[in-house]
């Protein structure tokens, strides 16, 4: 399944106006990065992708609809996928997107 254009539009609207924001197609989905660090995205399987700190990761993946992203057969710490049904309401989508934006924005820009 390709990424959801509706989810992408909702993320785009929430991320609008973020300093240093870049939008890019990647791995069959679409992502938004700040200073070269991915903050959030519409994953190729229809879920919301959110970046978080390694310290925040264990708690984040216990939330309803959240799971660690599997890459190369193992869980990629700091990358969380959230079921589309869990972020159907803007309040939850905004909370998750803001979480990724805050983390990516806290990192020094890639040069």
Cα 6 to Cα 44: distance, rounded to the nearest angstrom: 13
7 pLDDT higher than 90: yes
Binned at pLDDT 50, 70 and 90, residue 27 comes out as confident
Give the chain's mean pLDDT.
95
Domain ranges of the chain: 5-106
CATH of domain 5-106: 3.90.1150.30
Strands across the sheet with 66-71, in order?
21-26, 29-34, 37-42, 48-51, 74-82, 66-71
Angle at 20 between CA 111 and CA 11, to 5 degrees: 125
72 to each of 41, 69, 76, how far by Cα in Å? 19, 10, 9
Work out the pLDDT band at 1, boundaries 50, 70, 90: low
pTM score, whole prediction: 0.93
The total of other beta-carbon atoms located within 10 Å of residue 84's CB is 17
- Other CB atoms within a 10 A radius of the CB of residue 69 amount to 17
């Amino acid at each position: 399944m390709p990424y959801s254009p509706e989810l992408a539009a909702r993320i785009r609207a929430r991320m609008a106006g973020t300093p240093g924001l870049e939008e890019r197609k990647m791995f069959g989905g679409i992502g938004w990065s700040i200073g070269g660090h991915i903050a959030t995205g519409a994953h190729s399987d229809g879920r919301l992708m959110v970046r978080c700190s390694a310290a925040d990761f264990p708690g984040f993946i216990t939330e309803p609809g959240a799971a660690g992203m599997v890459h190369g057969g193992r869980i990629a710490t700091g990358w969380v996928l959230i079921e589309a049904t869990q972020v159907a309401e803007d309040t939850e989508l905004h909370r998750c997107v803001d979480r990724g934006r805050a983390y990516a924005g806290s990192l020094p820009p890639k040069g």
